[in-house]
Amino acid sequence: MPQITPILGELYNPNLMPDYCPDQFNLVNDMLVQHDIRDISKELIPCWKNAEYLRPGTVVMVLASLDIYNIMIERTDPKRGFRRVSHFLQLQTRNSDSLINISIIR
């Protein structure tokens, strides 16, 4: 695989994914999007390597917002919709094969 430097917001071909199999996907215009996901040294993690870096037990810091939508279907019965938007994600520790124990003080 060629060495590609990820660029924030750039679109990439799905065949960069390690488990991509064109016979099982009917992708026509779908592309991978490079989101703002960074490693411990604040370097962008290529979108085709997310599964390699973001494994169970990895501790991350996320800057996110929760958007609430009020939808008036009937005057007396408004409905709410919620959407979580992640703006930035950075690894704090990279998981190894051993378990990471975290204590939360309340």
Place of tokens 């703002």: 36
Mean predicted lDDT score pLDDT of the chain: 80
- Average confidence (pLDDT) over 66-88: 83
Q: What is the pTM of this model?
A: 0.67
32-46, 66-80, 88-102: the lowest-pLDDT one: 88-102
- Average confidence (pLDDT) over 14-32: 79
Of 93, 90, 92, 100, nearest to 45 by C-alpha is 90
- Average confidence (pLDDT) over 68-74: 82
Q: How confident is the model at residue 98 (pLDDT cuts 50, 70, 90)?
A: very low
Helix, strand or coil, per DSSP, at residue 106: coil
Q: Which residues pair with 91 in a beta bridge?
A: 60
Report the alpha-carbon distance of residue 6 to residue 36 in Å, rounded: 10
Domain assignments of the chain as residue spans, ordered by start: 11-93
